Chains A and B, each alone.
Chain A
Amino acid sequence: MSILAFVTAVAAMLCLSLAMARHHRDLFGRPPGRPRQLLYRLLGILGTALCLLLNLRDGGGEIGMVTAMGQLMGAGILVGLLLARVATAGMNNSRR
């Protein structure tokens, strides 16, 4: 199911971004600890692989590969935009 695959892609990209100090700070106020960073990274890679598998199952080798890449790129942009939103909202709150 392509919606499930896209949700997986977004989750995977979110995990990868949370493994980065800046984005973790934007969301939780502090950078991630070393074990947590590794966990996020692992989850991100697993999510990416799962998204790929789901797409390959639905679309077959050729087309599944294309949809998987497309979904991962779309998810990456979406996560970037969402993080920017959260970060700006956080700035407003802390100022108040």
Chain B
Amino acid sequence: MKLRQSMTTLHTWGGLLPSWLLFVVIFTGTLACFDKELEHWMRPALHGSSGPASASAQQISDWLADNVSAPLHAYWIHPPTERTPFWQLGWEEDGSGQRGRAVFDPVTGAALPETLGGDFFFTLHYNLHAGQIGMYIVGLAGVFMLAALVSGVIIHRRIFKDFFTLRPRAQGQRAWLDAHNLFGVVGLPFHLVLAYTGVAIFVAAYMPAGGMVAYNSDPLAFYHEVQGGYHRNELDRPAGTPVPLDQLVTAAQQQWQSTDTGWIIVEHPADASSVVSIRRRDPSRIGSPQDTLSYDAFTGELLHQQQTPPAYRGYIWMVGLHMAQFGGSLIRLLYGVLGLAGCMMLVAGNTVWLRKRAARQTPGLHLVQALNTAVFFGLPVASLVLLWANRLIPAELEHRASVEAWSFVLAWLAVTLATLVSSRQPLARARALLGVMAALALGLPLVNFLTAPYSHLLATFGTAPELALVDLTLLICGVLLAVAMARYRPRQPVPAARKTECGESEVTV
């Protein structure tokens, strides 16, 4: 077999099989570039209010003690920042490992109504909300993506000559192949770097060989030396009176000579071994040097200052490059656009696969077609429905976040079922779903206007641009989707000569 031919096999199957999973990962990753903006948008209780940010870390910690009775393994607190103007709290219960999350008003310190928030998309992006197993599945998909990218470069005959080529009216699969190449090749550095840095984040879980051979599988020694971290095992003795958290935060800020506090982590708070670690946040660097300071929770003594070895700093840099928390909104905008290009690359690639086989009636054709519709349309529809639910579900409802999650799941199921039972042509189906998406996107700013007096476009325009931009983006996407729908006229039985002309307005999904 010639190299190019064998690489075509790898590219075709290594690309098609994980493509739907990769679409979920890349689409939610694109949304997760703006997770903090979405999180803020999904909490209308924060909008419109202003006042001195007077809540403190201790207040948050007290709320946890009053509201969660189970013994805690650890909890972590993040002070308000420019992009996240609220206190964040997360905790993990001892034994069951169950995790919780809450967000607090920066002025009053009151807990806000629960919502899945932008965090939902971030978690879906890296573990599909399926914990450890999900993390391994996503990692495997990432390796598939790397293999597909490399083999794709090898099989591309005219990578520079066709660099900008897009011929929407070309016959058959040509137009889709052009689109696949344009989004894939021009965005190649981004796709490669993001896929590699993405799988690298959990490398210690995916590839334990280094720790096994050089540290004799001793995870604690590995952690101490590789990350320069600090950990104290439980002493199984009851805890004393903890030093107020705010005092430790002040001490940390004095140590760094900076006020950029990141996560404040309290490990086994009910045990005499409890340690408070405070991380530094520096958004002006790609790899924020965490510089974690670890304090004894009861004496306030500084136990350890993190000294990261050079290679681990390189790792932090790669993770930072993936997470896009550095720089300003320009970075996230670029990541967002290129992430969408990645989605388009997948959609176009799968369409090429279908087009090539449509005439031959290959087995599996209908399955691929159905999966395409269910995933490529189902996920965006479900994401929009989630945002609708966020505005429509009353703030005081119990288990509000799970109701939101159900709305997301049911919307996706509905699209899938509609795909399975509809007898329509794929093109008509795609057109209908484009219409649904357009209606959902255009309707959302309206719902926002009707339900949230301080959050809608008229209220936020000028005063809170980061919120207004969410609505504006929805409007722009809605209009674009509506235009796309209007142009995707169902194919009429036309003479062969005219068929090429409406080639542009075809979509096979």
Contacts and interface: CB of A to CB of B under 8 A. Distances in A.
Contact, chains A and B (beta carbon distance below 8 A): yes
Interface of A: 2, 13, 16-17, 20, 22-23, 59, 62-63, 66-67, 69-71, 73-74, 76-77, 79-81, 83-84, 87-88, 91
Given A17-B163, A20-B161, A20-B164, A67 B331 contact: yes
B174 to A, nearest CB: 12
Interface in B305-358: 321, 326-327, 330-331, 334-335, 337-338, 341
Nearest to B183: A77
Contacts of B165: 22, 80
Nearest to B181: A80
Nearest to B340: A77
B161 A70 contact: no
A91 B161 CA distance: 21
A66 B284 CA distance: 13
B286 A66 contact: yes
Nearest to B337: A74
A77 B331 contact: no
B334 A70 contact: yes
Contacts of B186: 73, 76-77, 80
A74 B286 contact: no
Contact of A13 (B161, B164, B168, B187): B164
Contacts of A20: 161, 163-164
Contacts of B331: 63, 66-67, 70
A77 B182 contact: yes
B400 interface: no
Contact of A80 (B182, B189, B334, B504): B182
Given A2-B330, A20-B161, A81 B166 contact: yes
B269 to A, nearest CB: 37
Interface of B: 161, 163-169, 182-183, 186-187, 189-190, 284-286, 321, 326-327, 330-331, 334-335, 337-338, 341, 504
20 contacts: A16-B163, A20-B161, A59-B327, A62-B286, A63-B284, A63-B326, A63-B331, A69-B189, A69-B190, A70-B335, A73-B189, A73-B341, A76-B186, A77-B186, A77-B187, A77-B341, A80-B163, A80-B165, A81-B182, A84-B166
Contacts of B167: 84, 87
B190 A73 contact: yes
Give the top 10 A-B pairs by smallest Cβ distance, nearest first.
A70-B334, A84-B166, A76-B186, A17-B164, A80-B164, A80-B182, A63-B327, A62-B286, A80-B166, A77-B186
B168 A70 contact: no
A76 B334 contact: no
B3 to A, nearest CB: 27
A80 B165 CA distance: 6
A76 B163 contact: yes
Nearest to A14: B164
A70 B186 CA distance: 10
Contacts of B338: 70, 73-74
A71 B161 contact: no
B337 A23 contact: no
Q: Chain B CB within 10 Å — which of A16, A69, A79, A84 has the most?
A: A84
A70 B338 CA distance: 8
A63 B286 contact: yes
Given A59-B327, A69-B189, A77-B187, A23 B335 contact: no
A85 to B, nearest CB: 9
Given A62-B286, A80-B163, 14 more contacts: A16-B164, A20-B163, A22-B165, A63-B286, A63-B327, A70-B335, A70-B338, A73-B189, A74-B337, A77-B183, A77-B337, A80-B164, A81-B166, A84-B166
Nearest to A17: B164
Contacts of B285: 62
Given A62-B286, A66-B327, A88-B504, A73 B166 contact: no
B275 to A, nearest CB: 32
Contacts of B163: 16-17, 20, 76, 80
A71 B334 CA distance: 7
Contacts of B164: 13, 16-17, 20, 23, 76, 79-80, 83
Contacts of B326: 63
Q: Chain A CB within 10 Å — which of B166, B331, B338, B341 has the most?
A: B166
Contacts of B161: 20
A37 to B, nearest CB: 13
Contacts of A63: 284, 286, 326-327, 331
B232 to A, nearest CB: 35
B192 to A, nearest CB: 11
